[in-house]
A and B are shown apart, each in its own frame.
Chain A
């Protein structure tokens, strides 16, 4: 086992990896940009080194700089987390050349899977079903020609893509040209590569993915599925495991396909095969994420496997200690991603200082978070501030716990998606498990229809608004009173007090 591991990341995933290091008895080395000196991951670490100015391109993405830090402090391995350098094929190569173990697959595997076009070709050859579409990069003119021939709707995707960036759903012919341009510019900005390809749009798809674990001795297992169909702008918002409307037969087939995909490229470490499943129960390979996923915790909850520790162990050369036949699904788990965003301003990012942070607890509740009271959420990085994971004996208990935990969670100073999650948790379609990736677009736009609970809550909210307005008016009057004003005829506070005694008009 490694004695010292550098974590080439920040935020909640850096904290998560540090926890795994400490449980394994390894020292954890943090890196931090200039705005992250006070970040939580730095405070949990055993060693911490600055890595550059706030923009990620000048700090967390500076591969050579991070390797130099690792060498200087004697770290034997680097864990990339997710995002940043985690899926850049050159990074494992650089680590290998520097004599440092990269915790993840090889650069070759990453290049194969990271380029979505090559991944599609590879999977098709391995017999894994892929989403119908093109298997090469297209120019704008070729793309327009292909779309004219194949018809709409289509998904335009970045060849180097991931995380919903450089991705556009096109339904109308007039949207094709602007969508291509926007996808290209977003892909260029996010990945430094503006290559695009096209897939047919699968109607009413559900996003279901299979977690796999592979060691360096040829053993591959899958840890069942996660359903990530609650998405906004192609970003996952809520995930659950196991999936809704899953049958043991479909689970077995998807698990086998994911294991075959991993074997086809000689995979090592933790990875995820993402699939789209249509209403007929057909599944199509979407892409493979060659890193730990944001939503790995729900799989940990239903299988009891610590995925981050398993990644580190197999990177150290250990054999997987679990066999497929030993794995079972126990209960149900749900994750809600708490983003710093304003649900009332089209989910625009809401950076700022976190003034209050009260985290839920109790049975079946796990919070993975990279912030604390007093921390700043900056515009430089991903707006996710925490992951709230609840688990229970069954889906109903997991949902009940999620509702309960969300109501305990208090974040002030920034706007968060907590109210949005609460709305999802009482939506009949979600409660019935009857939803697809169009759920937010089709069912959560506009105002929520009022129900019995809303009326009483609204009455109390309105009374509280009156009380808060009164208290503020009173404080203002007192503050003005404390200032020396030469020619004031009467104390403002006295006149405020006299008015407050009036009860005219209301009997």
Chain B
């Protein structure tokens, strides 16, 4: 199987073959190595490659995202089965356009700085949420105007709740 793994602008094609219990042959840039990736607990891996041991903590993020904490560094990676990727490219929809802003944490809306119809600039504060005694201002991700507001001041919101929808300038 071939996985495409990307980190920022870098993408590696990694050939993978399972050769034993938690042991894999990985081919990267024409070089094949044997990697023993033993998992304990909840996604805590001990990776041994050619005698070099690394401990890595992994968290899944969405369908293809993996956050890997290794050697004191946190990497945000995307890993996709190559076939899956080809499939998804064929049916890809335009991802630009309306931006739905959701609550990244449960909290209380202490301030709504905009109203429906307002023109907003990228980075402009839209709403202030209080959680864990801190007020956090949520900025607009794009230049545009507010087309929908899903919350009221003083309201408690759950994580993932839709706060506002901003539509880009035509």
Give chain A's interface residues, CB within 8 Å of chain B. Answer: 165, 182, 185-186, 189-190, 233, 342-346, 348-351, 355-356, 379-383, 403, 406-407, 410, 412-413, 418-419, 422-423, 425-426, 453-454, 456-473, 499-507
Contact pattern, B 67-108, Cβ under 8 Å of A = 1, otherwise 0: 011111111111111010000000000000000000011110
Known: A461-B7, A461-B56, A506-B13. 13 other contacts (CB 8 A): A348-B131, A349-B131, A379-B131, A379-B132, A410-B44, A458-B75, A464-B70, A465-B78, A466-B3, A469-B80, A470-B16, A500-B18, A506-B30
Once the chains bind, are B1 and A499 in contact (CB under 8 Å)? yes
Once the chains bind, are B44 and A462 in contact (CB under 8 Å)? no
Q: In the bound complex, how far is the Cα of B22 from the Cα of A224, in angstroms? A: 53
Q: How many residues of B contact A (CB 8 A)?
A: 65
Nearest B residue (CB) for A419:
B74
Once the chains bind, are A465 and B66 in contact (CB under 8 Å)? yes
Q: Which residues of B contact A342 (CB under 8 A)?
A: 104
Q: Is the interface of A mostly helix, strand, loop or mixed?
A: helix
Q: In the bound complex, how far is the Cα of B77 from the Cα of A469, in angstroms? A: 11
Q: In the bound complex, how far is the Cα of B133 from the Cα of A185, in angstroms? A: 12
B35-43, B143-151, B161-169: which one contacts chain A? B35-43
Q: Which residues of A contact B3 (CB under 8 A)?
A: 465-466, 469-470
Once the chains bind, are A343 and B74 in contact (CB under 8 Å)? yes
Q: In the bound complex, how far is the Cα of B131 from the Cα of A482, in angstroms? A: 43
Q: Does B59 contact A (CB under 8 A)?
A: yes
A-B contact pairs, 14 of them (CB 8 A): A182-B128, A348-B104, A349-B134, A351-B105, A351-B106, A461-B68, A461-B75, A462-B14, A463-B35, A464-B37, A467-B16, A468-B60, A468-B66, A507-B30
Q: Is the interface of B mostly helix, strand, loop or mixed?
A: strand
Q: Which residues of A contact B41 (CB under 8 A)?
A: 356, 412
Q: Which residues of A contact B69 (CB under 8 A)?
A: 418-419
Shortest C-beta distance, A460 to chain B (Å), equals 5
Q: Which residues of B contact A190 (CB under 8 A)?
A: 133
Once the chains bind, are B1 and A500 in contact (CB under 8 Å)? yes
Could you say which of A381, A383, A469 has the most chain B C-beta atoms within 10 Å of its C-beta? A469
